[in-house]
Amino acid sequence: GPSPPPPFGSPTTAAFVEVGVGRPVAMPVEPGEVQLMMGVQKRVRALSDVVCGDISELYKMGSELGFGRFSTVRAAESLGTGKRFALKVVENESLNDDENLVALEQEVKILRMLEHPYVVKLKEVVTTPDRTYLSMELLNGGELFEKIVEVGSFPEPEAAVVFARLVAAVDFLHARDVVHRDLKPENILFVEGKERIPTDIKVIDFGYADQMP
């Protein structure tokens, strides 16, 4: 049978198309483009905790939860533990744009530094030939923004708790020279949000975050 296509970033080719049934045909690219893709692959793999052929080896993918500049977020279930997570899905092709790759590197670096009750936790980074996945805890309670729209003004006791927890999270970040740079009600989620006026917040989305020198 035909030989399988080389991995993403192969020095012989950077793209394949399917002709007929299962017959990959190499599409030539410029040498400079191949080198860029190989460099991207090396940097992405340096971020990763796990490299595998397909995400279905590790997770059962669920519904889409949202999207960002160059990513989508989907619910997923770990095949190993049965626990549910939120997977930020990044197409590796988008990382040929160095601005995107630097942003991803920074986000992963910062998330790995953070262990706080009011900040979302990163479980692992998984890379496949086509995509990179950031596996994070799944927060089911919805956005602070949505809850404000739903109920209007929070009563003072609950508002005070939410604000105190948000300040604690920001203080924790700033103590580590991390600035979020996109802090808004849409990026504050409730863990469960079972109460009519919940207070169990976590700060999410560190895609714009930076660490000051």
Is 88 flagged in the annotation as binding?
A: yes
pLDDT digits (tens, 9 = 90+) for 96-107: 999 999 999 999
Same structural domain for residues 149 and 164? yes
Q: What is the mean pLDDT of residues 171-180?
A: 98
What's 133's domain CATH number? Answer: 3.30.200.20
Strand, coil or helix: 195: coil
Domain that residue 35 falls in = 1-47
Same structural domain for residues 126 and 172? no
Closest alpha carbon to 142 in 100, 92, 192, 108 = 192
CA angle 202, 203, 204 (to 5 degrees): 115
What's 171's domain CATH number? Answer: 1.10.510.10
What's residue 25's pLDDT?
A: 42
Q: Which of these is catalytic: 54, 98, 177, 182?
A: 182
**182 part of the active site:** yes
Same structural domain for residues 42 and 55? no
Same structural domain for residues 99 and 122? yes
Helices and strands (H, E) in the chain, number of each type: 4, 12
How would you label 97-132 residue by residue, b for 16+ Cβ within 10 Å and e otherwise? eeebbebbebbbebbeebeeebbbebbebbbbbebb
Please tell me the pTM assigned to this model: 0.82
Same structural domain for residues 133 and 86? yes
Same structural domain for residues 15 and 63? no
